Structure formats: C-alpha cells, structure tokens
Structure 1
Amino acid sequence: MANEFYIGKRLSYDGQLCTLRYYGEVKGTKGEWLGVEWDDPARGKHSGEHGGIRYFECLSKLPTAGSFVRPTRKADPQRSFVEALKAKYASEDFEDPDVEIVFVTQEKKKNAAPRAPIRFSGKEAEEVGFDKIRKQLANLHELRIVILDGLCMSRSIARSKESQLESDATSWPTDLTDVKDACPKTIELDLSRNLFEDWREVASICEQLGKLRSLRVDGNRFRDTALTDTERQGCLKAFANITTLKLENTLLTWEELTNITALFPDLTTFVASSNLYNTLTPRTLTRTITDLSLEDNAFLTLSDLHPLTKLPKLQRLILKANKLCTITHSDQSTPIFSPTVSEVDLSYNDISTWRFIDTLPTAFPGLTSLRVSHNPLYTSLQAADGRALSAEDGYMLTIARLGRLKVLNYSPISEKERLNAESYYLSLIAKELNFASEEAAEGILRSHPRWKWLCEEYGEPDVKREVNRVNPNSLAARLIKLHLYLGETAKAAASSDAPERFETELPMNFTVYSVLGVVGKKIGIPPMKCRLVWETGDWMPVARDDAIDEDWDTDSSDEEDEGKEVGERVMREVEIVPGTRSIGTSVDGMEVAVRIEHR
C-alpha cells in the first residue's frame, strides 16, 4: 500500500478534492494516516498540526484546510478524458434524482380520431423522447465548447517518470488519438477542479485539439510543472493556437506561472486570480499578453506589480479585490506601465487617499478607462467647509483629477460631465484656500496637481480669506450657539431660580428633542411643555387694515403698488417643531436667537 500513496497525489472523497501532503503515523494514535489539504479550506479541521506537532504545511496557509484520513477510506474513482466527456455530454442514465420518468403507452383504438398536433405561436412542435435528446447530445464530434470541471479526471499515462526525465524524452505518448477522436472541433476547453498532478497531462490533451483557442485549468494543484527541453518543444506545439489561458486558484508560485505562460507563443489573455500573491518576483510573463487579470490576490501597492511594467503590449489590467492602498512603498519610485495600458480595474481595494488617484496618470500614461468603485475613499469624503460629500461627488472629483479619462466605472464621460466635474473641483479648491492661511496655501495647491491647468482653462477663482474664520474641520465648526430668553408665558411657569437669558453651544446634529431636554432642565419646565421660537431677525412689512381695498386689481402694475401705504414691520418668527430633526437643519446660521414659551 506504501506505493499507492505519495506526496502530491490528488484525491477526492465524496466529491471534495484534496492533495496528499503527509503519509505516516500520528503521535497518540495507532496505524498510518493520510494528511490532506482540501481544495475547499473550509472543509478541514486544522492546518497540518496535531498535538503541538506539525506534520505538513498547507499551501493556502489557512487554519482549517487540513485533515487526517485513514488510507483505507475509499476515494472517488478517477476518470479518463473520454469517460468524463461521456459522463457530461452523453450519459446513458438520466442523472437527475428529483425527476421521475414515467412511460405511458396507449393502445390505438379502432376508428379513433387522429391526435391534433401541438402548436406554439402557430408553429407545430415536434415531440421527441429522451432517446432522441441523448442521441443529439451524444454527437460529441460537433462539440465546440467543452466544460469538464469537477469530474475527477486524471491522465496518469502522461505523468512524468524519473527515467524519462533523465533521458530528456517526452514523458507522455505522442501518438494518442483518444481526445481527437472524441471531440475534434473543440475551441474552448475547461479542465478546472480535477485530479491533474502534472502539467504534462494538460499538454497531452491539448496537443490533439488543433482548433483549441481557450484553455481553463482553474483549481488544480500541480505537484510538477518542470519540463525537459523535448517536452517544452512539445508543449509549444500543443499550445500554439491558444490565445486565452485561465489559472485561477492553483496556488502555483509566480516562477511556475511564468514558466507555464512561456509555453503559449500566442497568448493574449491571461487570468491568474485567487493565487494568494502579495508581490511578484522579477520573472515576467510572456510579452504577447494584452489582457491580464490578477483579481482577488493580496497586493498592497502598485510597486508590488513592477514586473508587469515590462509587458509591452498590455492593454487591460484587472486588479479588483486586492488590498491596494498606496502606489509605492516609502523607498520606491512610482512604477510606470506601458503606454498601451488603457483600462485598469481597481475596484474593491483599500484606496483611501486622493494622492493614489492623482498618481495614476504617472503610473499609467495611457489610462483612459478606470473602475475604482467600492473603495474607502468614497465613503468618508468631506468638503473644506465640513460638508459631507457623497460617492457621486467623489466620482465627479475623480473625473476632474484625471484629465484623460474617458470611461469611469463602465460609464462613458460626456463633455458636459467633464465640464461640470472640473468646474466643481475648481470651486472646492477655492473654498479650501478660503479657509486656509497663506502659509498653508502652497501645500494645498501641491495636493491638487491640476490646479494650474484648471485655472488656465476656466479662469482662476477669487480667493477671499477671512482672518477670524473658523476652521471647518474643527469641533467649533460643528457647534451652534443658541441665545435663549424666556417669553412671558415661560416666565410664569419657570422655576424661581431660572435665568431669564442664557446661552449654550450644542452640536449641530443634536435633535430638537435633545435641545428641549437641555432647555427644560435649565428653566425647570418639562421639556415637552417648552415651545421654542426662532427669531430670524428678518423684518417684513404688514399692510394696514384701512389700506386694504376689497376691489384690489390683481393686474395692477408694480408702479401702482409702489405708492400704496403699508403698516408697520414685524419680525418673522419660526417655531422649532419637536422631533428627531437636527437643530442645525431647523435654523440658519451658527448663532441664533430663540424665545422660550410655555405650552
């Protein structure tokens, strides 16, 4: 049985794939065990450690990826390519356990009327049985897109042997025709989540498909990607026509990945998502790639991707769902990608500063399309006057900061949108300068690289600084000062020691209910018995009773009304209605006069 198990062997138990990482005894138990790392890390119990002893390492580095199973446990049977193809597209048995097929036969009665044909929208429908459907599916020769993911497929005949490696021979037979005989017209092939252990197994399949253009091998765990010179030449021929390759969640090292891409002479689209990369070694990918996806990895800075700057034809770079927060580390210079890179996806990262956005034109000189949604930057924006900005405001500012951008978050940018965005951005810079001292102005302008260009395009705004203006980002800018005094009704109901006039400063987001609580406690009246009246300070003219004409002509001109006599002027008053509305939105200004009355 010892020869049956080896490190790196791929296994499947009850449909769950795993890789053998340890074979031997476990302290405190009897007999031998298999230490396996599950492809689904949530399936396991530990990380390869038991009783304080580490028996194996999990490539995923996750705490629940490993388990110990007995060698006697029955594994799922493995399939060849042709067996997997027939199981998927030409199975003889109806495989849906929730559907019961019932065959009903009826004797044809003598002189029975012929059954009327079934019609849909006036067209006669053809009735077919499962045998005809299976016959159509069984025509595997016509398949152009073949998806064989998760079918326990392996190709042990193509796995390497030490004697063959030493002789620099090709490890797999080159005269096989099983794949070509089964589906010769295949142009897209998905071999994801199977039991392949050796990259030669993939090559042995692809070399028989001369029309193959797209290959997907996600979720496999290869123990060996090394090739002899002869095998490398065989792979170059086998993958000669493939332009799209996907290797997601394979946990291959970056060096192994670059070695594999070098076997595809015409590769243009490459996907290497979910491989736990946080930096890239100097090895570079094949230079023919134009579309590259490194989604769902762990990159922190763009400088971690420096080897990608050597791709001369790269046009589209997907970095979605990483941990990008800065352009470079403190001791590094900004990486400059090829001018051919026009589309970049930075959504679902940790970008929180405008400096990152402002540096993008330097890092990507040809950038015209950007996706940057779902970053912390757009959830905590604030204007210079302390006003909170929405995500939509943030996207407008992104457009204004990136002058060459034509598409943002998949939406084309019109000329009108750019005009509005840049004008808005310029006004916000002017407000920021209004609140800053002259000494701080230079630093502010450095944080807005497009200031000079915007001024040349739209004219420099008039900056008016006020010496005593409150800093909008300070606590004082968030307080409102209330000048309160007791009205006649409140004087009669208030406690004997209640002050007739007093002042208080409260946060602008205090609700009116909270303000009533503060006032009521101060003057000794129940809060809900207090009535707050805001004296606006605006005086309005009131017409005298004897000046009102019952036959007033609504069509009279302003000149005729100008000479009419009016009564005295009165102050406009507004009652502050109790509720959960904030006091800052119930009145205007930072200082207001409020009269207190008793209800």
Structure 2
Amino acid sequence: MAESEFKLGQRVHSAGDPRRIGTVAYVGPVQGYSGVWIGVDWDNGDGKHDGSINGVRYFHAKSERSSSFVRAHNLSSGISLLEALRLRYQGDTTKEEEDEMYVLSASNKRVSVELVGKDKIQDKLSRFEELTGASLSFLGVSSPGSSPCDIGTVLPNLKELDLTGNLLSDWKVEVLKYSLPAIEELHLMGNNISTIDPPSFLTVHGFDSLRLLNLEDNCIADWIEILKLSQLRSLEQLHLNKNILNRIFYPDNDMIGELSIASELHEKSDEPFQNMRCLLLGSNNLQDPASIDALNSFPKLVDIRLSDNPILNIPRFVLIARLEKVEILNGSEVSIRERKESEIRYVRLVMSKLQGNLEDIRQLHPRFAELKKIHGIDDEKPSTGVAGPQKMASGLLSITLKCVGASIGERSPLTKKLPATTTVGKLKILCESFFKLKSIKLKLFLQEEGSPLPIMLDDEMASLMDVGVGNDSTILVDEES
C-alpha cells in the first residue's frame, strides 16, 4: 500500500499477521532515514520505543516500548467482510496448515491427523447461502465491502457472526442492519471501538432479531454510547466487559430525544432495554453506587456481572440489596435466603449511619424505605444519651476467624460473638490475643459466600457493621507482606 493510504487513528495489522494489530499514530519522514514511515502503536505492546527515536519525538505511545516505525508495504489496512468470508470458507488448506495438524504418540512422535469427511464439510461451508454461523475473527476485516447489501444476498440465513479482533473501530456498523436483518448474535470483541456512530443505526428498524451483542475488550468510555443501543427491542444479552465505562445512568425522555432515537420511543410502552436479561460489566471503572441503582430501571435485567470494578469494594450483600431483580451476580446465583438476609443487613447498616434529611437518604439509598417496609423493620437508632449504655442496632454478631498467613502457622478457626460496633482496628488487636500473635502486623479480609475474592477491611476506624460484617460471617486473618 502507498503511504498516502494510511491516516492517523487508522487501525492496521502487520502484513502477513492479522493478529498483530495497532493504531497509526504518525505518517511522515523520520530524521536520519529516507522516505516516508508509518508510526504504529501496537495493541500487544510489542514495539521498540515510545514514539520518539534518536531524541526526536514524533508521537506519544501508550507505553515505553509499544510502538515502532514501519514501511507501508509491511502493513495492511485490512480486507472486506466478503473477502474474509471467502478466505475463511472457500480457500483450500495449505500444506503448511495440514502439516501442523498432528497428535503426539505415547513415544512422543508426531502422528499426522486426517480429517475424515473434510471435503464434504468444506463443500458445505463454502455454500454461503446455507451458512447460519460465520467466524471471521482475526482476519483483518475493516469494511463491509463496496456494496454492503451484497452481504445479505450472499448470507441470507446468517444468524451468528463473530468479528472478534478485526479493524472495525471506525466502521459504520449501520450497514449490518440492512445487510443482515436476521442476525441474532453479533460479536465485535477487541476492535478498539470507542463510539457507536451514527445513532440512527439503532432506530427501531433493523436488527429486529438481535439477541446478543458482544462489545467486550473495546474502548467505550461513555454510557451515552451504550444508550444508543437502548432500543434494540429483541436484545437480551449485552457484553461490555473490559471497556472503560465509569458510570451508568438511565435516560429520561428528553435524553432519548437528544440521542436522535426515533420519536416512537417516547411512548411509555417502549422502555429502553426492555428485554435485556444479562448485562456484563466486568473490568470497567465503575465507582459510583448510583450506577448500581440505575440498573433497577431495566425491567427484565436479572444477570449482572460487576467483578473487577472499583465498585467491588462494596460488599456483596449491599449489591444484592440495591439490585432489586438480580438473580445471578458475578456468575453466582442469589438464593431467596441470601436476598432476604442481604436486604435486612443492608437496612440495618443504613440505619446505623442515618444522618441528614430524608431526601438525602432517599437519593443515596433509593430502596431503603421500600426494604424497611418489606421486612417490617421499625425505625430505631442507637441512643446517643450519656445517661445510660448505648443501644446497639443489631446486637452481637457471631463471627468465624480463620488464620491464613504463611508465617502464622496452623491454627484452628475460632467463632466469637462481638458487638456490631467493634472497629476493624479493635478486631485486629483481639485477633492478636485470640491467636497469641506477637510482632505480626495483621490485615483482615471479609470472605462472603458467592464472592470470588475476599474483601480487604482496610479502614481501622470503621465498625464491623459499616464494612458489611453480618451474623455468621467469616473473616480471614492474614499478615502484611
């Protein structure tokens, strides 16, 4: 390709290796070298410098050795979807590929594998009109082709399309709604997508059968972009793991209008995300508890993943209590018993910290009044008078303490009853006494059923109730490394 065919921000891959993908960050001369060079910032970080060479900076790469300068002929700007389709399903396997198909015998020798019925299978796959699913991952797909409508003609029965790891960050995905109207599953993982453009691509016409949309491992930062998907009427699963979202909010009618979504959506019967049951949001940057509350507005949402977000400092029981309809949280089922216990613990926790006016409480804890009524919990606050002993909001908690520190040695677990007002700092001192630990700096973790990782209790001034410790909780006693 000529140097003029590359532009800043363009997604490219190394010629001959469509899995080595990067973004064009510079096009032009490099001091001390002849001709035009393309500066590429590689996704896998496998480069030679940070965008500067011999003391001259040409661009800023994402890390110290993630970029390199290459000649145009060593890069590819990709191929069309239909070209990839023919390459994947109509091309013959090469001798090199067949040589790589082997198993190891008991004596560690290679035994060639012969695919029985290979020709019959390949013949069926090559008849595109019969294909119901196509995987075009890591083939350098960058466009639909010169005539997008051809896709629907060639693939009239396609229901599932996997475009993982391609070059579609600036591709107008709008073409798919016209060319693949029967599509049910669309996978766009790892395409560096940051915006969904234009909003009109998601009007009520088109994608009428789409049930699953996978946008994992992209660069979506603003929930506004996700709201452009909100009127995919048939959408049941939306996968957004490994993006950079920092908040979630539910649109009002004015916002829906601003997003240029069709006027029909203002009807009360057409709620955004009205059929979505599963939303995966792991490994983002969600921090605000209000983002959790916003998920209650999605009428059928029952399966939610929030793992590996800063918000996971919030205990599991608080998440369950705030999420009204969740049945599966972070891959773990929420039982009827766990929901009831979580909601009661949450109400007690909020009551122990009640401050300010009722409107502030309603905004910070939208489900508090509802849950208090559901579980018949009376208004009660700890007495603050100096004349008598302070009343504890939740009495004594039965807690199991388990030593897990490498140098602590094997110790039998202990079950103790402690006041809910006991601070984390006080509990550390008690653990030193319970387990006869001297000269060991301790750290404590709350281990909750259904949570993949224990929660570190790092605020020494917080009470056990404040950090979500409830009756029959387990606390791990570890040592500072």
User: Which range, TM-score by smaller chain?
Assistant: 0.5 to 0.7
Aligned to 2:68: 66
Aligned to 2:438: 579
Q: Identical aligned pairs, as a percentage? A: 21
Aligned to 1:142: 120
Aligned to 1:265: 181
**RMSD value, Cα:** 5.0
Deviation at 1:72, TM superposition (A): 10
* 2:366 corresponds to 1:449: yes
1:35 pairs, out of 10, 34, 38, with 38
Deviation at 1:334, TM superposition (A): 7.4
Aligned to 2:274: 339
Distance in 1 between residues matched to 2:372 and 2:438, nearest whole Å = 46
In the alignment, is the contact (CA less than 8 A) between 1:239 and 1:265 conserved in 2?
A: no
Deviation at 1:373, TM superposition (A): 2.1
Deviation at 1:67, TM superposition (A): 2.3
Aligned to 1:501: none
Aligned to 1:184: 123
Distance in 1 between residues matched to 2:251 and 2:181, nearest whole Å = 37
Aligned to 1:348: 283
In the alignment, is the contact (CA less than 8 A) between 2:321 and 2:342 conserved in 1?
A: yes
Question: Aligned runs of 1:450-465 on 2, under 5 Å?
Answer: 450-465=367-382
In the alignment, is the contact (CA less than 8 A) between 2:278 and 2:303 conserved in 1?
A: yes
1:457 partner letter: I
Aligned to 1:159: none
Aligned to 2:134: 215
Distance in 2 between residues matched to 1:298 and 1:72, nearest whole Å = 26
Q: 1:95 to 1:407 in 2, by over 3 A?
A: closer
In the alignment, is the contact (CA less than 8 A) between 1:34 and 1:69 conserved in 2?
A: yes
1:330-361: per-residue Cα shift (whole Å, max 9, x none)?
A: 99977763210111111222222322111211
1:358 pairs, out of 283, 286, 293, with 293
In the alignment, is the contact (CA less than 8 A) between 2:18 and 2:140 conserved in 1?
A: no
Work out which of the two has the higher radius of gyration on C-alpha atoms and give 1 or 2: 1
Higher relative contact order (CA 8 A, sep 6+): 2
TM-score (normalised: structure 1): 0.51
* 2:207 corresponds to 1:287: yes
In the alignment, is the contact (CA less than 8 A) between 2:302 and 2:328 conserved in 1?
A: yes
Structure 1 unaligned residues grouped into runs of 5+: 74-78, 104-128, 144-182, 187-205, 382-393, 472-506, 515-573, 591-599
Q: 1:221 to 1:6 in 2, by over 3 A?
A: farther
Q: 1:40 to 1:511 in 2, by over 3 A?
A: same
Aligned to 1:86: 93
Q: Secondary structure at the match of 1:326?
A: coil
Question: Aligned runs of 1:200-599 on 2, under 5 Å?
Answer: 208-222=127-141, 224-225=143-144, 227=146, 231-281=147-197, 282-285=199-202, 286-288=206-208, 289-328=210-249, 337-362=272-297, 364-379=298-313, 381=314, 394-433=315-354, 436=355, 439-467=356-384, 508=426, 579-580=438-439
Distance in 2 between residues matched to 1:280 and 1:310, nearest whole Å = 14
Q: 1:343 to 1:466 in 2, by over 3 A?
A: same
Aligned to 1:596: none
Deviation at 1:511, TM superposition (A): 5.8
In the alignment, is the contact (CA less than 8 A) between 1:245 and 1:270 conserved in 2?
A: yes
1:528-552: per-residue Cα shift (whole Å, max 9, x none)?
A: xxxxxxxxxxxxxxxxxxxxxxxxx
2:367 partner letter: R
Deviation at 1:222, TM superposition (A): 4.6
Q: Secondary structure at the match of 1:298?
A: coil
1:152-200: per-residue Cα shift (whole Å, max 9, x none)?
A: xxxxxxxxxxxxxxxxxxxxxxxxxxxxxxx2222xxxxxxxxxxxxxx
Distance in 2 between residues matched to 1:510 and 1:410, nearest whole Å = 32
1:68 partner letter: V
Q: 1:50 to 1:458 in 2, by over 3 A?
A: same
Distance in 2 between residues matched to 1:18 and 1:578, nearest whole Å = 53
Distance in 2 between residues matched to 1:424 and 1:509, nearest whole Å = 20
Structure 2 unaligned residues grouped into runs of 5+: 7-11, 76-85, 257-270, 391-424, 445-462, 464-481
Deviation at 1:317, TM superposition (A): 0.8
1:278-319: per-residue Cα shift (whole Å, max 9, x none)?
A: 333314254231101111223334223121012111111111
Distance in 2 between residues matched to 1:256 and 1:457, nearest whole Å = 48
Aligned to 2:413: none
Distance in 2 between residues matched to 1:70 and 1:233, nearest whole Å = 31
Deviation at 1:48, TM superposition (A): 6.9
Distance in 2 between residues matched to 1:373 and 1:334, nearest whole Å = 29
Distance in 1 between residues matched to 2:131 and 2:366, nearest whole Å = 49
In the alignment, is the contact (CA less than 8 A) between 1:368 and 1:406 conserved in 2?
A: yes
Aligned to 1:7: 5
Question: Aligned runs of 1:13-24 on 2, under 5 Å?
Answer: 17=20
In the alignment, is the contact (CA less than 8 A) between 1:400 and 1:418 conserved in 2?
A: yes
In the alignment, is the contact (CA less than 8 A) between 1:6 and 1:20 conserved in 2?
A: no
Distance in 2 between residues matched to 1:234 and 1:330, nearest whole Å = 36
Distance in 2 between residues matched to 1:354 and 1:62, nearest whole Å = 35
Q: 1:319 to 1:421 in 2, by over 3 A?
A: same
Q: 1:72 to 1:454 in 2, by over 3 A?
A: closer
Q: Secondary structure at the match of 2:304?
A: strand
Aligned to 2:266: none
Q: Secondary structure at the match of 2:344?
A: helix
